[in-house]
Amino acid sequence: MTIQHVVELTASATVVVPVTQPRNHFRLVTAAEFIAAYKPLEFVVDGLIPRGSIQSWTGPTGHAKTAVATLLQLCIACGHEFAGREVTPGRVLVLCGENPADYRLRLISTAQALGIQASELSNLYVLPFAFAVTGRLDDLFREVERCGPLVAVFVDTSAAYFAGSDENSNTEMKQHASALRGLCTLPGEPAVIVLCHPTKQSTRESLLPRGGGAFLAEVDGNLTVWKERSQVTLHWAGKLRGPDFEPISFSIDPCVIQSVRDAKGRQVVSVVASWSMGGATSSVSDAAEVALLRAMCAEASGSVASWAKRCGWVSSAGEPRKSKVARLLQRLESNRLVVKGADGRWHSTAEGQVLAHGAEVAGPSDFSK
């Protein structure tokens, strides 16, 4: 082919003009518009856990992460204050894939201590198996849409839902944390609390979740759980987006479960968490107990039945739940907050009266739902 042929072919060819890819279109907003779009921050637990956030709860094995988390789950599901803090009541989802059998006992024992019947836990949902969150988010969306919007999601534990092969890989752990953050987009924009094992050789002051800086960078805060003897402290380390708070103390106590037995018919023992208030341990059911103490102070000559009615603890038929009051009185007596007088009547002690007038509780109907 001569040069002349090339020139002729070029002249007769259809010229294709390259199409310039359109730029991404931005819309600048004024500062006034930006400020006007502010959405008020809502806390699932006042001053502690913002709705729509993701937090890691880091603690060594055996340091009562699940016990404290179970208490919080029931507080949210039943509208019960948590460690003296107001909660946003609503539906809670628990992914308990690490040890479903153990979680079942923690749930039963904590509900028993709070005086809550299983039939009253209609706001608490459980998925008792492990899976890779990255591949099942759509399935979760469908299930949550069927059940209703969530306030909180608990992941027990991060390791049980990790799809990678190396928890020390920054790349894999960043992908894992991003997948867990996807749970915040479930209907209701729930807060996500991920129970985590700490890095090796961690101390109370350096309780960071496994996965290095990549995992920590993706979460909004890292709360810590540390146990010494029977006392557990909830605080934070490494990162906290939100207001600082003083360490919160809990007592971890054994609990004989009344409603179940083992295969040989023997009683089963689990543990429950209770909030320690002002250095003195308050019972795990502090809101219910304080409500009863207040009823006793308001009606000093009242009866078990009248106190139950005053607290709003009645059956569907309107009968006072005297058995619940009796159980609470026994626990209050063990904590020296009430005493049975020579006349056979129950009376609040001076310490009980201080607790009744000095503590804030959610209200008399917390556990009557």
Show Cβ contacts of residue 336 under 8 Å, excluding neighbours closer than 6 positions: 349, 351
Q: What angle do CA 186, 191, 197 make, to 5 degrees?
A: 110
Radius of gyration of the chain from its Cα atoms, rounded to whole angstroms: 27
- Give me the pLDDT at residue 362, please: 34
CA distance 186 to 231: 35
Long-range contacts of 40-43 (CB under 8 A, 24+ apart): 42/88, 43/86, 43/88
- Give me the pLDDT at residue 352, please: 81
Mean pLDDT in consecutive groups of 10 residues from the start of the chain, 369 residues = 43 46 76 93 94 96 96 95 92 97 95 88 96 89 96 96 87 93 96 95 88 89 94 94 91 88 91 72 57 87 88 73 84 86 87 67 32
- Give me the pLDDT at residue 10, please: 41
For the chain, which residues make up each domain, given as ranges? 43-281, 286-358
Q: Which of 55, 77, 122, 131 is nearest to 100 (CA)?
A: 131
Spell out the alpha helix ranges (H) of 127-278.
133-147, 170-181, 212-218
CA distance 67 to 272: 6
CA distance 321 to 118: 16
- Give me the pLDDT at residue 211, please: 80
- Give me the pLDDT at residue 285, please: 45
- Give me the pLDDT at residue 134, please: 80
| Fold for the domain defined by 43-281 | Rossmann fold (3.40.50)
Classify 286-358 by CATH class.
mainly alpha
CA distance 132 to 155: 12
What pTM, to 2 d.p., does this model score? 0.71
